[in-house]
Amino acid sequence: MLTPLFLSVYFQLVGGEFDLEMNFIIQDAESITCMTELLEHCDVTCQAEIWSMFTAILRKSVRNLQTSTEVGLIEQVLLKMSAVDDMIADLLVDMLGVLASYSITVKELKLLFSMLRGESGIWPRHAVKLLSVLNQMPQRHGPDTFFNFPGCSAAAIALPPIAKWPYQNGFTLNTWFRMDPLNNINVDKDKPYLYCFRTSKGVGYSAHFVGNCLIVTSLKSKGKGFQHCVKYDFQPRKWYMISIVHIYNRWRNSEIRCYVNGQLVSYGDMAWHVNTNDSYDKCFLGSSETADANRVFCGQLGAVYVFSEALNPAQIFAIHQLGPGYKVVITVIL
C-alpha cells in the first residue's frame, strides 16, 4: 500500500496520478529538488520507498535521466550522503550509479573523489559504498551522443532539401536507435517515423513503426508504392543498429535487405526506385512530413548515415563491430 506522502511526491513529479507503466515521465524538474529537501525530514521507511521507486523510473526512461542531470541531482545527493542512514546510502549509491553511467560533470566527479579522501587513515562515512559508483560509470549502453525525441508534435529534425537521390549503385541507411515510449497506451495506434525523405508531391522513402515492427516504404506516386516489413521484434528501451540496404538492379528486380545489429533479418524483391526530377524537400529524422503527434518518433537516435551505395554484409557487420559510440567522418555520404 503506497503512503499518502509517496503519492503526493510522485503526483508532483509526473504531473498527475503516478503509474509505473502509464505515467512515469518527470514533468516538473524543480520538484526533484523539492523531493530531496523534503526527504531529509522523513523517516527511513518513507525515504526508502520513494528513492527505490525513483531509481526505477530513472532506469525506465532516458528523459528522466536527462531531467535529473539538468537539475544537478548527483551533486545534491552527494552533499547529503554523510548524514543518511546505511540503508538509504545503499539506495542512493545505486541511484548515483545509474545517473553517473548516463552523465556526470567534472564538478560532480571532483565532489565524488573528495568524498573518498580519508583523514588520519580513516575512510569517510559511506566512502567504500561510493566506490561502486566509479565501477558503474563506464557501463554505458548505446551511443555516447544522440538525439533525444520527446514524442511531442513537431519534435523532429528537419533536414535541408536533397537535390537528387542516389540510385545508380543503390543506397544504404544506417543508424542506432532506441524506442522510449511515453506509455503503453497508444503503442498499437501510433505510427512513429524513424525517417522520411520525400518530395513536395509526396513521393520518396520512409520507415515507420507499427507496434514493434518497422515498415520500410517507397512511394512512387502519392498513395502508391511498395512496403517491406522488417521481420524483427524491436523491444522498447533497447538499442539497435538498423541498416536498410536498397540494391539497384538494371536488368532484374531491385532488392531490399534489412540488417539488425549487423545480421541480415529480412530481405526481398522491391521496386524501390523513385523516378522523379523534383528535389527531396520534405526530409525529416524522427517524423513524417506532417510531424503530428501520432507520427513523431519517441526515443533516441544516434548518428544517421546515408551511403550512396549498397553496402555488403561484411561492411555492415564491420560497422556494428565498431560499436554505437564510434564516430567517424565518412566522405561518401549524402
Measured CA to CA in angstroms, residue 93 lies from 86, 125, 200, 274 at distances of: 10, 13, 53, 55
Averaged over 133-152, what is the pLDDT?
Answer: 84
87-100: pLDDT as tens digits:
998 999 999 999 99
Averaged over 223-245, what is the pLDDT?
Answer: 89
What pLDDT score was predicted for residue 29?
87
What pLDDT score was predicted for residue 320?
93
Averaged over 116-139, what is the pLDDT?
Answer: 82
What pLDDT score was predicted for residue 334?
42
The beta strands (E) that lie in the chain are given as 147-150, 157-159, 171-179, 193-198, 204-210, 213-221, 224-230, 239-247, 255-260, 263-269, 282-285, 298-301, 305-307
32-91: pLDDT as tens digits:
999 999 888 888 999 999 999 999 999 988 889 999 999 999 999 999 888 888 899 899
The Cα 64–Cα 216 span in angstroms is: 31
178-204: pLDDT as tens digits:
998 876 655 567 789 999 999 888 888
Averaged over 104-114, what is the pLDDT?
Answer: 91
Question: Highest mean pLDDT range out of 33-42, 112-121, 127-136, 177-186?
Answer: 33-42
pTM of the model: 0.82
56-68: pLDDT as tens digits:
999 988 889 999 9
